A and B are shown apart, each in its own frame.
Chain A
Amino acid sequence: MKTLAVVTRSGFVESIHQGYICVVDTGGRIIYQKGDINTKIFFRSAAKPFQVIPFIQSGGAREMGFTLKEIALACASHTGEAMHQETVMGILDRLGLNTDDLHCGIMSPYNEDENKRLIAVNEKPTVLHASCSGKHAAMLAYCRYKGYDISTYEKPDHPVQKEILKTVSHFTDEDEKSIETGTDGCGLPIFLLPIKKIALSYARIVQYAQDPESHYHESCRTVFEAMNEHPEMVAGTNEFDTELMQTVKGRLIAKIGAESVYCVGIRDRKLGMCVKIADGSERAVFPVVMEMLLELGVLSSSEYEKLRHWHKPELLNHRREHTGDIIPVFRKNDDIYVGQKIK
């Protein structure tokens, strides 16, 4: 692993974040790399666009009347705002199911205002606030469409999960039997894959979206369009995924995963990128992704201006004074150390 970003305080390096970066094209050729890109990581929520593909591919999404907005939410780690809750509830209503049928567990919403509102009015968070509830709702819809059992959809041997594994195997070029799984935060099986193969899957999803000959064309195009038409569904207000896709509209898809996994599929150059911060810290991943987007020439200067607060975020103390910054350093040097004077 390589040093990717540093956190500074009063002109000194206070903390360091190491990790891995891989950018590949659709043939798996390495365009950029930092660290050993054969390292295996859990795909976490960055896998969501692939977890919805069997549903779309089967014709189920169309048959069940799924809108682009609902598909975007199926690809989301949403922040539990009212718009997200309503959209999940809308799917459940249409299926004649209720919140008990979602097996993702309950979590406090990521959105600070919604979280505070719940506390203020003495309400408990529900399963609708869980960031994965859109994905789970789409899986229930797929069960209904196929006539699968809905009460065990999260189990690794359930047909929905088996089909998802097959899809992930195809997009990552990894033998289905060799893909190990663990348990994700929402209880679903999640795949352990080499970083370069995760990057490959994002290159392929943007390639297939543009290639009418591809077997997966419709599904990939739908996912690409959904995430770009409704970036507010993919994460939420003031979130990086949302702001990035709103700003660079139609040219990429971007998705965060827990423990600091980040994936981007870049449409025109048909590139896939995977970043993993080794210590799992979220604060470092956005600056690193921004730096990579600059390196790859993806952002225009006006787009960069809109997103620059994610690139080198200023750190403020409790008196709102600027005490330091998070700075991506991997393009310049990576032998930087804690305590080093910087600037």
Chain B
Amino acid sequence: MPQLVVRTRSGRVESIHHGYICVTDSDGKIVYSIGNPQARIFLRSSGKPIIACALVKSGAMKKFNITLKELAVICSSHEGQAVHRRLIKSVLEKIGAEEKDLECGHKYPENGKVKDALIKLGMRPTPIFSNCSGKHSGIIALCRYYGFPVEGYTREDHPVQHIIRGLFAELLDLGTEDVITGTDGCGLPTCNLSLYQHSYLYALLAHGYGHRGSYSDSFGIIQEAMTAYPNMIRGKGTFDSDLVFFSQGRAIGKIGAEGIYCLAIPEKRLGVCIKMLDGHPWSGYPVAVRILQELDIIDDWVVKKLEKWALPEVKDDKGNVVGYLHPVFSIVNNETGSFEPGDTFPKEREKI
């Protein structure tokens, strides 16, 4: 398995993260890859901007007057802050639905302050706090648009899920019955695709309006929404939001659970899918930054702004830095690390 990141302590390798990467253009050609691009993964939350295509393409977005900002939250794994919840409530109102229609379950919000506030109030998080509630509101909007019952919209055999599987099938030139799904953390079906297929979907998002495919306008609008409202796709001060903000939309990043990170790079019409094989939640960030550096998408100024994700620090409990999470691969040169735990990590490489 290819080594992408090592975690150091006192100049030694302590732990190792392996992963696969696939970089694909909007013609469906693999431009770079590490590991097995045909390995199948569940898209998890990185599937959200793709699922949102169904909403835009159907005309539901227009019919219900869903704004670009609301669309950004529909594509998000949001942090559960008041602004996110307000936008989702607004979507629900526009489509004549209520918070109780959300079937995403109960999950503490990612934002520490919001989580602490709930604990202080002795409150169990309601479904709107779930990072997936935007996506759920978008799917309920689709149900409303097509006149499907809202109840049970997360079930695989619900007609709205058939439409979503159909969307993936059309985009990837598959039969609808060939789109395999599993159950996501929020209860919705999540597609099982190869890294190659998934990176191609992000290439379509990157190409946006310019692509010849029938979903180009939908991807164009989604790209616009995610670029215009960086803090809506996750939350202020998070990697996804800061990446879009500081790169000024030259890279759009989306996290997925179990070590997935996806990128759309509009100017190169490239899509990137990263899967950290151990499912580690944040070692994908230094990988994403390193890829964008190698492809000349972000300059040193942007990297500096993203420093805490480009080279995450390992600290002791007194706040002293004792190590880092270092990317140890090159996507352009197809190189990966060959460290073992205990190896000395070269000091000169301790920079971004």
Contacts and interface: CB of A to CB of B under 8 A. Distances in A.
Contacts of B316: 105, 183-187
A120 B120 contact: yes
What range describes how many residues of B lie at the interface?
35 or more
B17 interface: yes
Nearest to B278: A279
A279 B337 CA distance: 14
B277 A16 contact: yes
Main secondary structure of the interface of B (DSSP, over half): loop
B342 interface: yes
Interface in B1-24: 1, 7, 9-12, 14-18, 20
B116 interface: yes
Contacts of B181: 10
Contacts of A217: none
Nearest to B192: A12
Interface stretch (B36-44, B60-68, B284-292): B36-44
Interface stretch (A166-174, A199-207, A285-293, A314-322): A314-322
Contacts of B130: 318
A338 interface: yes
Given A15-B259, A119-B120, A120-B122, A186 B15 contact: no
A29 interface: no
B187 A318 contact: yes
B107 A10 contact: no
What range describes how many residues of A lie at the interface?
35 or more
A180 B278 CA distance: 28
A42 B9 contact: yes
A90 interface: no
B158 to A, nearest CB: 15
B185 interface: yes
Interface string A242-282: 00000000000000000110000000000000001011110
B340 A185 contact: no
A11 B278 CA distance: 17
Contacts of B15: 259-260, 278-280
A18 B278 CA distance: 8
Contacts of A107: 317
A30 interface: no
Contacts of B183: 9-10, 317, 321, 323
A107 B317 CA distance: 6
B280 A281 contact: yes
Given A1-B340, A12-B192, A323-B185, 4 more contacts: A18-B1, A39-B340, A183-B322, A279-B15
Ranked nearest first, the 10 interchain pairs of A and B with the lowest CB-CB distance are A10-B182, A40-B342, A182-B10, A105-B317, A318-B105, A339-B40, A15-B279, A280-B15, A319-B105, A105-B318
12 contacts: A10-B183, A40-B12, A119-B120, A182-B10, A183-B322, A186-B317, A260-B15, A279-B16, A280-B7, A317-B183, A318-B187, A339-B40
Interface of B: 1, 7, 9-12, 14-18, 20, 36, 39-42, 103-107, 116, 119-120, 122, 130, 181-187, 192, 194, 258-259, 275, 277-280, 316-320, 322, 340-342
